[in-house]
């Protein structure tokens, strides 16, 4: 447990310093190579639960300390200990004893008594320090105050349900590749493997979370991991055989693959990150599909466009990712209110850029995984107002109302707008 705590503390500390959680895990596991796969899973559990409840942990730590702890590694270790005592099934005495040893490993031997006192004091007072005893949104709801207030203002009827959902474990949803099998046949394959599953729409199947290596047929391209909300993108774009389609900001390629499963298309996938572009190539290879991959800024067509217009464009724009906060719990703490305006400016630039390569009568689907209006309706309304040949197109029957998918048990949060070039 000692190395688990040290690794978790390092990951948590790096994340709170602004690092991406995935990168923090990679760095943490590289610094602790002796951790087994099972131990790495425990580190992930501690960090995910710790970040979802970071506001609560920090409030508790503030009550348990007489003076603030300035050593960042030691402070992270105390947060990890509090998270373990509340969100794992490890024995409390083992958590405390190993945390005391971990303090010494961090080069803080004088803090052994502090760590022991703080964690044992929590065990005595845990009923007085529970979530319900706090009033701040950070401690009670698990989100920054500005995030809670903005969501409350923009979604007054359901903001509490959205936040509750974003604090749950995310579902694992698969997209069945209809070029290689049917939903019915795939469900039978899962059943034969002892995996319970249920359908979510035409191609989505939900199962209990597991490593992708344990998903039947994944390596053979029979299914891909993709949230049910994200699976609407390819469907809403209304593609047909023979069309030339641009997938802007395409990485990691889930939507690119879905488009190619739906119809025989000439797809150009553009992304500005060469490493992420490699992931698209891997995903398409697994699916047995092909597309033209281009490393470029989609907002600057002069750098990559060959002059041939597209009939369809999917713009899955970079955003705050506020609709997928349960999958990336670091986002809620590392985002700032000012970030929304920065994302909106980038989204506007991308819309203006790719609009140049859309043919007349063509359609563009604007998509984000954000729940905030500043990145969604406001961006689209501003675009329509400055582009006289742009108009909102109607979605197909059964599409999400208003193009909105709020986070719920089966979906992450998404926004879609279909724009037609007159």
Q: Catalytic amino acids? A: 369
Residue 399: partners with Cβ closer than 8 Å, 6 or more residues away: 232, 236, 416
Distance CA 247, CA 268 (A): 6
SS3 labels along the chain: CHHHHHHHHHHHHHHHCCCCHHHHHHHHHHHCCCCCHHHHHHHHHHHHHHHHCHHHHHHHHHHHCCCCCCCHHHHHHHHHHHHHHHHCCCCHHHHHHHHHHHHHHCCCHHHHHHHHHHHHHHHHHHHHCCHHHCCCHHHHHCCCHHHHHHHHHHCCCCHHHHHHHHCCCCCEEEEECCCCCCHHHHHHHHHHCCCCEEEECCCEEEECCCCHHHCCCCCCCCEEECCCCCCHHHHHCCCCCCCEEEEECCCCCHHHHHHHHHCCCEEEEEECCHHHHHHHHHHHHHHCCCCEEEECCCCCHHHCCCCCCEEEEEEECCCCCHHHCCCCCCHHHHCCHHHHHHHHHHHHHHHHHHHCCEEEEEEEEEEECCCCHHHCHHHHHHHHHHCCCEEECCCCCCCCHHHEECCCCCCCCEEEEEEEEC
């Amino acid at each position: 447990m000692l190395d688990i705590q040290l690794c978790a503390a390092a990951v948590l500390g790096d994340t709170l310093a602004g690092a991406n959680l995935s990168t923090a895990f990679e760095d943490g596991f590289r610094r602790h190579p002796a951790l087994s796969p099972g131990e790495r899973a425990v580190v992930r559990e501690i960090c995910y639960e710790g970040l979802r409840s970071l506001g609560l942990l920090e409030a508790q730590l503030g009550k348990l300390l007489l003076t603030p702890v300035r050593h960042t590694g030691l402070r992270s270790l105390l947060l990890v200990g509090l998270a373990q005592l509340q969100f794992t099934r490890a024995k409390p005495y083992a958590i405390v004893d190993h945390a005391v040893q971990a303090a010494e490993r961090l080069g803080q031997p004088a803090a052994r008594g502090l760590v022991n006192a703080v964690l044992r004091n929590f065990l005595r007072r845990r009923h007085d320090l529970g979530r319900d005893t706090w009033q701040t949104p950070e401690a009670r709801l698990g989100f920054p105050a500005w995030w809670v207030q903005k969501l409350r203002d923009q979604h007054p009827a359901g903001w509490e349900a959205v936040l509750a959902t974003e604090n749950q474990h995310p579902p694992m949803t698969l997209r069945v590749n209809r070029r290689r099998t049917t939903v019915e046949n795939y469900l039978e394959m899962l059943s034969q493997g002892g995996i319970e599953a249920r359908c979510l729409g035409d191609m989505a199947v939900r199962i209990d979370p597991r490593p992708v290596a344990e998903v039947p047929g994944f390596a053979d391209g029979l299914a891909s991991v993709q949230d049910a909300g994200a699976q609407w993108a390819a469907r809403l774009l209304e593609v047909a055989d023979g069309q030339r389609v641009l997938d802007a900001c395409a990485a990691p390629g889930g939507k690119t693959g879905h488009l190619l499963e739906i119809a025989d298309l000439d797809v150009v996938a553009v992304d500005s990150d060469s490493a992420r572009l490699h992931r698209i190539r891997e995903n398409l290879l697994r699916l047995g599909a092909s597309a033209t991959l281009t490393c470029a800024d989609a907002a600057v067509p002069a750098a990559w466009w060959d002059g041939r217009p597209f009939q369809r464009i999917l713009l899955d724009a970079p955003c705050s990712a506020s609709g997928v906060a349960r999958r990336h719990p670091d986002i809620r703490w590392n985002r700032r209110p000012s970030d929304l305006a920065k994302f909106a400016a980038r989204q506007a630039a991308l819309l203006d850029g790719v609009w140049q390569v859309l043919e007349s009568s063509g359609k563009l689907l604007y998509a984000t995984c954000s729940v905030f209006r500043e990145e969604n309706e406001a961006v689209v309304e501003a675009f329509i107002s400055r582009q006289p040949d742009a108009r909102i197109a109607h979605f197909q029957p059964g599409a999400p109302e208003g193009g909105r998918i709020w986070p719920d048990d089966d979906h992450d949060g998404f926004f879609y707008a279909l724009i037609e070039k007159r």
